[in-house]
Amino acid sequence: MSRLGIQAFVPQSTGSSAVLSRRDPRVRIVLLLLHAFAFAAVSQVALLPVLVLIAAGVYGLSGLAWGALLRRLRVAVLLIGLLVILLPFVSGSSVLMQVGPVALYREGVEAAALIGVRFLAIFTVANALLGCGALFDHLRALRALGVPVLMTDLAMLVVRYIEVAHHDLHQMHLAMQVRGGKGHRGGAVLSLLSRVREHAWLIAALLLRSHERSERVYSAMQARGYGARGLSVRMPPLNVADLVFLMSGGALAALVFILEWHTT
């Protein structure tokens, strides 16, 4: 394994005494997958309160601040907000309420509730299980669980270079302002088109610069022996506390499957 890989996957301590932070990252990843599949399988509105209780309980065990979750939820809500808002008015046949040509359908309300609550529950559990540990710990655990090296390396590089690309975009935008890039004249339409054109050039230049950098980085990694031989990550076996926690979380996910099957 190259020196880059060794340094990147050194376990990092979170410094927290919360229950989830003391668990092995392999346990957190497996539980995330189990709960994500269990929550996604729910198709009955009556089970949504169960998902909310489980998600809130798991997040409580993480010891993370609820304010941080709410700040992240604002971004997540934007992803499905439009769908959840429009679905009750365009899907279904049973009218709950109608105002002129606008009708509110029961099937649409139920579908929107299912999509919204399931998404937010999975998002909350993911933040709880992954947010209480270091990113490199989870990538190292994925390797230990048998995930291909290429996928974990790509995940590490994507996270790293999102920050690099954001910094480059900020620097390029600042340079454009210094050179008078904001000096738009003419009507509102012409000004808008000028801004769109400038931002398009910025993004195109950023993509080209990122592609050139990626080639240089990959060449440097190969020169340092990356990919010369196979990689195996060994982690110590799970202790009793990790096994008990894994079985408890698995039983909770199985309970969701059983309730879904029983109410169907």
Per DSSP, which regions of 118-205 are E strands? none
Contact 38, 256 (CB under 8 A): yes
* DSSP-assigned letters across all residues of 160-172: HHHHHHHHHHHHH
- How many domains, the chain? 1
Contacts of 65 (CB under 8 A, 6+ apart): none
> What is the DSSP code (8-state) at residue 226?
T
Task: Identify the domain containing residue 219 by its residue range.
Answer: 3-263
Q: Tens of pLDDT along 234-260?
A: 788 889 999 999 999 999 999 999 999
Phi, psi of 91 (to 5 degrees): -125, 135
Q: Tens of pLDDT along 63-113?
A: 888 888 888 888 778 778 888 888 888 888 888 888 888 888 989 899 999
Quote the Cα angle for 117-118-119, to 5°.
90
CA-CA distance, 231 to 170, in Å (whole number)? Answer: 37
Phi, psi of 95 (to 5 degrees): -80, 125
Size (the chain), residues: 264
Given this model, what pLDDT does residue 7 score? 38
Contact 45, 37 (CB under 8 A): no
Mean pLDDT across the chain: 81
